[in-house]
Amino acid sequence: MVAFNINKTAAQNKLALCEAWETLHPNSCPYSYNFHLHTMFSDGQLAPSALMKQAISLGLKGMAITDHHSIGGYRGAAAWLESQNASSAEKPLPHLWTGVEISCDLLGVEVHILGYAFAPEHRALKPYLKGKAPSGKDYSAKNTIAAIQQAGGLTVLAHPERYKKKAEVLIEAAVQLGIDGLEAYYAYGNPRPWQPSLAQTKKVKQLSEDYGLYVTCGTDTHGLNILQRI
């Protein structure tokens, strides 16, 4: 038996990630894909291994752990997956991409930028992976987006309808800074069962089309169940 191997190429495969994003629809999350998950390495409650067990049980095809200012959750999940035996797994193992969520300033508002498929050891990311929000010039959305992209990653504006400025204003500014995508499928208000909020999703999807951006989905899990935010 050969142990399952999480290789860096798969975790940083932007082409595969973009192809997955292009297939997303309102029912893709949370049972096929989930690109917004937190563990105890930031403000979530799940250990990476517990989160991965749920992901496999649900049959997720692809996912990313996006802890705040940390890749500890990703590293823990990757290590756990490496210890598993792919040939004896009851269900296929999901594609795990690198991920992170970073707080930064955009037009005087704190927003969250999600980063995916980046090289975690890249020096450009050092100010952003210290377990707390960056400061000074590193706190700007311009520099945050640039750092993730310099590390080979893709950038997404998280939950655009949750901020103190209108989504269309923030998205236009993010586009000018080179943002790659928007988190369109998001459940505002934490409904049960999880489902993307219709009005907000329609608006953000239209803006993504207007600007030629990718759309993503995620439950933004912080609790013990990856099917819910809390």
- Could you read off the pLDDT of 44-92 as tens digits, one per residue? 999 999 999 999 999 999 999 999 999 999 999 999 988 886 555 677 8
Strands of 33-37's sheet, edge to edge?
33-37, 62-65, 95-97
Kindly tell me the sign of the dihedral angle through the C-alpha atoms of 42, 48, 54, 57. positive
The Cα–Cα gap between 76 and 79 comes to 5
Q: Indicate the burial class of 87 (C-beta count within 10 angstroms; 0-12, 13-18, 19 or more).
A: exposed
Q: Provide the domain count of the chain.
A: 1
pLDDT by residue (tens digit) across 3-13? Answer: 333 457 899 99
Domain CATH number, residue 101: 3.20.20.140
141 within a domain of the structure (yes/no): yes
The pLDDT, as a whole number, for residue 3 is 33
The pLDDT, as a whole number, for residue 7 is 58
CA nearest 154: which of 15, 9, 10, 6?
15
| Domain membership of residue 85 as a residue range | 8-217
Can you list the residues of the chain whose pLDDT is less than 70? 1-7, 85-89
The pLDDT, as a whole number, for residue 84 is 81
Query: Among all chains, which residue has been given the structure tokens 């009851």?
Result: 90
The pLDDT, as a whole number, for residue 89 is 63
The pLDDT, as a whole number, for residue 211 is 98
SS3 of the chain: the string is CCCCCCCHHHHCCHHHHHHHHHCCCCCCCCCCEEEEECCCCCCCCCCHHHHHHHHHHHCCCEEEECCECCCHHHHHHHHHHHHCCHHHCCCCCCEEECEEEEEEEECCEEEEEEEECCCCCCHHHHHHCCCCCCCHHHHEHHHHHHHHHHCCCEEEECCHHHCCCCHHHHHHHHHHCCCCEEEEECCCCCCCCCCCCHHHHHHHHHHHHHHCCEEEECCCECCCCCCCCC
User: What single-letter amino acid sits at 57?
Assistant: S
229 within a domain of the structure (yes/no): no
224 within a domain of the structure (yes/no): no
230 within a domain of the structure (yes/no): no
The pLDDT, as a whole number, for residue 2 is 29
171 within a domain of the structure (yes/no): yes
222 within a domain of the structure (yes/no): no
148 within a domain of the structure (yes/no): yes
210 within a domain of the structure (yes/no): yes
